[in-house]
Amino acid sequence: MSQVIARITLDEWDRRYEQLHAGGLREPSYGGPLGRHAVAGDRRLTKLTFDRSTAALRLWNFLLTEDERLAGARGLGVKLLGTMKDLGTVPVMAASFDDVVAFYPDGAWWIPCLMENEARLLEIADRLGVDESFCPVRAMLGAFVNQRHFPVPDLLTCSVGATCDDVSAIAQRLAGMGHRIAWWEMPHRRRPEPGEETVLLSGGFTAPARQVEFVRTELHRILLVLEEWTGQRLADERLLAGIVRANRVRAVLGELRRIVYGTDPCPMPALEMLVAEMLAIHFCSDEAESLRVLEELLVEVRSRVESGVGVLPAGAVKVFWVNPVADLRVMNLLEDVGGRVCGTDYMFCHALDPIPEDLPPLDALARMALADPMVGPATDRAERIVRDASRSGAQAVVLSQVPGASHCGLEGLVIGEVVRARLGIPFVEIEVGPITDSIEAGLRTRLEALIETVEAGGRP
Amino acid sequence: MICAGIDAGSRTLKVALIAPPSTKIVGSAVRDQGVDQQALAVEVLEALLSERGLTRSDVAAIGATGYGRRLIRGAGITVTEVTCQAWGVRACVPGARTILDIGGQDSKLVRLKADGSVADFVMNDRCAAGTGRFLEVLAMRLGVPLAGLGALSGQSARPAAISSVCVVFAETEIVGLLASGASPGDIVAGVQASIASRVAAMATGNLPEPICFTGGGALVPGMRGALEAVIGLPVTVAPDPQLTCALGAAILASRRQEPAGQRNAP
């Protein structure tokens, strides 16, 4: 039986930190005990369990100090760009400029969870007319208003059109409040008609060449806005260099996912992997450091695999997970009931794929943007889920719905039907809001029943 | 040897006793839920045993299921309602391929493979409109006991249309219907059709036969007919439909006692 490195609580982490610190632990400037984040308001951390590696400690500290990093950058005169509803396109462009830091204001959707609603961001959004019929990403609106979670960016970009109705409405509200937003239009990706020039996109999708050209034109317009804003000219060579750097992050993350999701026993918990995957879309405001954070995780994972140790018992049921959870606790819950994540579609699989380096850079970015699983038909997304889940050897699929999210109402049925018909493995749909304490019994029952169904292996 | 299954559901706590290797229920009880599930479970179990001249030492194994399953100390195993329903139904309605379960505060659809194992399941515990809670609200509003709803629905000439998908708003509709002179029977039939529609919607058209109906909702006369009318297929009410889940838990607990080689694996 392989050795299991159990997840630890926040208190246990802080005790471990003291020992590590006394033993000469070397940390980056943002290091420190995790418990300080809970004291500062991220109370949800006290209800999570964590990987016990120093690599995971660094990952969490990196994530939870983003606001300090942004404030520090502003203090140094660096321009701050908020890239809304952008899953890995404009951040790559922005990181190619000097003295610009792009961040992802939409990430504020986790604040109600982390702070257990203490920040009242959702209530602020309510007062501005963006109520619970919207996705919890509306917390971003509250964060812009109370200005306690990130500095107000100097400029915002926002993709609209086929991306997300909720974010579009929130961004419109922000524009109405005087924030400068550079909008770019994302068409609904469609399959080419007979005779139309076709472009193959990552994820196995296709699009008419004219749609790729349209998005390229939109991105060029954004590029001109950024050039004017920064006073810098971004030649193709610089943008290509930026793409190459982004691809390094994606490559390390790709290797991390390949090993973690493909190895039994599982060498890294689902929660830390969720956070790690998120780095692909916005680099947590520091591309170079996100690469180092991921590399350290990769070293830890390789070491565990070599030693045959995991964070879960061998043979845990392999679950393909669709959509990120608003309450991080649910990733712990899956593992508590005997499951493990073997693959994911957190809505941005395209941001994990390498960006073509052999194409004109804007063309390459346009292709990646159009490969967003969320901007095409739900059947396309379902097909990619089926393909990825099948490759991962998934024994079950969990579709985690986001309450109020406009896409969830429609795509759930489609994904469920396609997964059931094509994979023939148990499939369950859950709904995860920012705080699930009051419905944990129901969530646990669904996940546990899913695991029981797989483990029964054809027997009741 | 006696094995016990305790189903700590959201509205009621059910206990079923079996004497393995038989899977026939030899004793059972149903009580409204309280605050202390553990104390209630002990009380109900011990009363049941006492009625039969038995004590806790005669109980070889206890299985717990239901939303409160993790609160039942002394249970040798805890298993979800989905798995327990499959085992319970397999024992009392062999060959069933679909379970429709309407409980006090949730409803479930469990599709079974030919061998009785769970193929997949869908649960609703976020909306009262497809659960027994709707019937309770209706009974309260009409001032009749739950058991009296069936007789009323049998008198319906034209079921009322309940357009709301939310019990809270549907209650307002019921008040309006009563005010406009609709008969209680038509209202009951309308509510039952509404519940049946919500439950059937979970199936998305995939309802392998035979279909077995379980849960407290199956005890309400008229619900089976309402389901059949909506889905257009025959539905069989399980014997002791409120106890199938507890029965499954008892069976699973008894299997835990058997050497692996002797288990009656399907």
DSSP string spanning A49-80?
-B--SHHHHHHHHHHHTHHHHHHHHHHTT-EE
Q: What is the pLDDT along chain B (266 residues), one digit of tens a residue?
A: 899 999 999 889 999 999 999 999 999 999 998 888 899 999 999 999 999 999 999 999 999 999 899 999 889 999 999 999 999 999 999 999 999 999 888 899 999 999 999 999 999 876 777 788 888 888 888 888 887 888 888 888 888 888 767 777 778 888 888 888 889 899 999 888 888 988 888 888 889 999 999 999 999 888 999 999 999 999 999 999 999 999 999 999 999 876 554 544 33
Q: Where are the domains of chain A?
A: 71-234
**Which residues in chain B have their CB less than 8 angstroms from residue A446's CB?**
123
> What whole-number distance in Å separates Cα of residue A33 and Cα of residue A303?
24
The continuous run of DSSP H or E covering A415 comes out as helix A406-423
| A449 contacts B122? CB cut-off 8 A | no
Q: Determine contact: A446 vs chain B, CB below 8 A.
A: yes
Model pLDDT for residues A273-313, shown as the tens digit of each residue: 999 999 998 899 999 999 999 999 999 999 999 999 999 99
Put simply, whether B87 touches A (Cβ < 8 Å) is yes
Both tokens assigned to A191: 């399959």
What are the helix and strand counts (H, E) for chain A? Answer: 18, 10
Q: Is the pLDDT of residue A1 over 60?
A: no
Query: What average pLDDT does chain A have?
Result: 94
Among candidates A441, A452, A458 on the partner chain, residue whose Cβ is nearest the Cβ of B113: A458
* B4–chain A Cβ distance below 8 A for any pair: no
Q: A-B interface: how many C-beta pairs under 8 angstroms?
A: 69
Give the Cα separation of A330 and A76 in Å (integer): 38
Distance CA A145, CA A124 (A): 8
pLDDT tens digit sequence for A330-349 = 999 999 999 999 999 999 98
Contacts of B115 in chain A (CB under 8 A): 458-460
CB atoms A417 and B86 under 8 Å: no
Identify the band that residue A459 occupies on the pLDDT scale cut at 50, 70 and 90.
very low
Looking at per-residue confidence, does B264 or A365 come out higher?
A365
> Which residue, among B83, B93, B105, would best test binding to A if mutated, counting the most A CBs under 10 Å from its CB?
B83
Task: Tell me which residues of chain B, numbers 176 to 205, contact chain A at a CB-CB cutoff of 8 Å.
Answer: 204
Which chain A residue shows the shortest CA-CA distance from B117? A460
Q: Enter the tokens of residue B17.
A: 């006793």
Residue B259 has a pLDDT of 55
User: Bigger pLDDT: A318 or B192?
Assistant: A318
Q: What is the mean pLDDT of residues A223-245?
A: 97
- Alpha carbons A242 and A248: distance in angstroms, whole number: 10
> Nearest residue on chain A to B91, judged by CA atoms?
A460
Answer whether residue A181 shows pLDDT above 60.
yes
The residue-averaged pLDDT of A359-376 equals 95
What's the CA gap between B153 and B156, in Å, rounded?
Answer: 5
Q: Using the beta-carbon criterion (under 8 Å), do A459 and B87 form an inter-chain contact?
A: no
Q: What is the pLDDT of residues A182-207, one digit of tens each?
A: 999 999 999 999 999 999 999 999 99
Question: What domains, with CATH codes, occur in chain B?
Answer: 2-92+243-262 (3.30.420.40), 98-237 (3.30.420.40)
Query: Which residue in this structure is represented by tokens 């998120």?
Result: A278
B95 at A interface, C-beta within 8 A = no
- Angle between the N-to-C axes of helices A54-64 and A10-22, in degrees from 0 to 180, rounded to the nearest 10: 110
SS (H, E, C) B203-257: CCCCCCCCEEEECHHHHCCCHHHHHHHHHCCCEEECCCHHHHHHHHHHHHHHHHH
- Comparing CB atoms, the residue among B68, B120, B265 nearest residue A426 is B120
What tokens does B119 get?
A: 């193929």
pLDDT of residue B13: 95
For residue B264, what pLDDT is reported?
A: 46
Of A21-35, A206-220, A224-238, B112-126, the one with minimum mean pLDDT is B112-126
Which residue from B79, B87, B204 is facing A413, i.e. has the nearest CB? Answer: B204
Give the pLDDT score at A460.
Answer: 41
Q: What is the pLDDT of residues A390-448, one digit of tens each?
A: 999 999 999 999 888 877 777 888 998 899 899 999 999 999 999 999 899 999 999 99
Using the Cβ of A438 and the Cβ atoms of chain B, whether some distance falls under 8 Å is answered with no
